[in-house]
Every structure is written in structure tokens, then in C-alpha cells.
Amino acid sequence: MSSWWAGKARQFVRHLTSRVSAAERVALARWLTPAQMALFEAMHPADRRHGLDVVAVLRAAGHSDPDLLLAGLFHDASKGLTVGIWQRVAWSLGERYGDGVLGLTAGFPGFRQAFARIREHPERSAELVLAAGCGERVADLIRHQATPVDPTAGEALRLADLAS
């Protein structure tokens, strides 16, 4: 199995089994403001788990920059509860095999809207973190998560996202 397929299979299982422990919530409540905690709680359970995993990868790599860690936690905040597992699978297959996959699946109920959310999620997530009181640097790291502008923090976020 290629590493891409293995990673996507891992993501699929994690999506279905994602949990955040009570201890993790307590630790977050010490780190986040109430508005940021509310944003975290509003995220899809899989996106919450993924954000925590990205933060863990960043910390394991020696990163302690609070802006970078917040960007890691919230980079998928706007995907929301309406972007389900099958829309995420179709999107990933479209990224891997081309827009034809998206065209074939866009007619399924809810897929076109979910694809729009996924496509727009960096900008929308950046807007959400600003509304939750995070700084402009956090928002910029999130906006440019796929093609980092910041060669150090942005690239660290991109790599941690891929590894999680």
C-alpha cells in the first residue's frame, strides 16, 4: 500500500473514532481563552482530534510558538459538522486523481456544498480565529496552510498537518 493510501486509511479510521479526552479539554481550557475554547468545541470531533494531533506533532518537533500552535489547533475550524466522511473521501480522491472525481460526486446530496466548505476553509477558518481573539499571524498561517508564506512556521504547520 502506498504511503498516500495508508495515510488516508489512517485518517478515515481516525475520523470515525475521534475523541478528545476530559484531560485534554482541561489542558486546553488552561491554554485557550473562553472564545477560543468555544471555537474548539464547535468543531467537528474529527477536526478537534486532528488539531490536537497537529499541535502534538509541532511540539514534538520542538515548536513552542503560541501562534503556530493555535494555527495548528484551528486550521480546519470552519469545515464544520456538515462536511462528512464521504465528502472528505471524495475531496481527497479529487486532490489525488483530479477534478473529474469531484465532478462525478458533486451531484450527490450535500457534496457540492461540502466541497465549497473544504475549498474555502483556510480563509473561513482564519476569519473564525480572528473572531475568537487570535491574532493576525495565526490567521495568516491558517490562510496559507497549503502554500506557506512563512518559510519556518508556515512550513512547520504544513508538514505537521500532513503527518497527522
Domains of the chain, by residue range, sit at: 3-163
Q: Which of 120, 141, 14 is nearest to 70 (CA)?
A: 141
* pLDDT > 70? residue 85: yes
Q: Where are the alpha helices (DSSP H) in the chain?
A: 3-17, 22-31, 34-42, 45-60, 66-74, 85-97, 99-105, 111-131, 136-143, 153-163
- What are the φ/ψ torsions at residue 151 (nearest 5 degrees)? -65, -20
pLDDT-derived band of residue 10, with 50, 70 and 90 as boundaries?
confident
pTM, entire model: 0.90
- For residue 33, the SS3 value is coil
- Digit-coded pLDDT (tens) for 102-127: 888 888 998 999 899 889 999 999 99
To the nearest whole percent, how much of the chain has pLDDT over 70?
A: 99
* pLDDT > 90? residue 52: yes
Mean pLDDT of the chain: 92
pLDDT-derived band of residue 1, with 50, 70 and 90 as boundaries?
low
Q: Rounded distance, CA 149 to CA 151, Å?
A: 6
Site of grid cell 496552510: 145
Q: Rounded distance, CA 24 to CA 121, Å?
A: 25
Q: Rounded distance, CA 59 to CA 156, Å?
A: 10
Q: Rounded distance, CA 59 to CA 64, Å?
A: 6
Q: Which of 52, 57, 87 is nearest to 70 (CA)?
A: 52
